[in-house]
Structure 1
């Protein structure tokens, strides 16, 4: 069990590093992880929406579609928080990396 937890943590950490470089697929995979509770993370729709929003901004049509699905299960306040977190991430990692 400890190995699978370490493996899941490594996967999330590597996806975070790739996302910081503007990798749309990494953002999408983080969105999936948070929306489904995979990869050793708990389900968090705000985090899922944030990552899927970033994936969509980077050109991922899959991210855009899944973001819409996740948003259906969220309140307007939760969506606003997810958008705020996405803007903060962009500001911290340089918005130019997400230009299509």
Structure 2
């Protein structure tokens, strides 16, 4: 799934406003595929975790897919990053 530059910018902008689960899932896809930069599974996992919390079913599948490519330290880092992001939102 490829995103346009506009879609990529919208996904990043949504994080600073009122993101939906789909917005966060889109960020996960961007980071997991390296679109617009390098592949970052920790960052992708973080966004998939958050998207899942917001009810995005597709994010569960994507999170599992990249988990298979990660070690336990990376998964822990992603979970910690998701918790930190949530803490700054409230």
Question: How high is the TM-score relative to the length of structure 1?
Answer: 0.77
Residues of 2 paired with 1:24 and 1:14: CA distance?
14
Partner in structure 1 of residue 32 of structure 2: 35
Pair member with larger Rg: 1
Distance 1:87 1:25 in 2: 18
| Distance in 2 separating the partners of 1:52 and 1:80 | 14
User: Of the candidates 45, 48, 51, which is equivalent to residue 44 of structure 2?
Assistant: 48
Residue 13 of structure 1 and its aligned partner are, at CA, apart by: 4.0
SS in 2 for 1:42: coil
Aligned length: 86
More helix by share: 1
**TM norm structure 2:** 0.85
For 1:93 and 1:77, the matched residues in 2 are separated by 25
**Unpaired runs of at least 5, structure 1:** 1-6, 95-100
Q: Structure 1: which 4+ aligned runs deviate by more than 4 Å?
A: none
Aligned: 1:76 with 2:64: no
Distance 1:19 1:58 in 2: 13
Could you tell me whether the CA contact under 8 Å between 1:22 and 1:58 is conserved in 2?
A: no
Which blocks of at least 5 consecutive residues in structure 2 are unaligned? none
Please report how far the alpha carbon of residue 42 of structure 1 lies from its aligned counterpart in structure 2 after TM superposition: 1.0
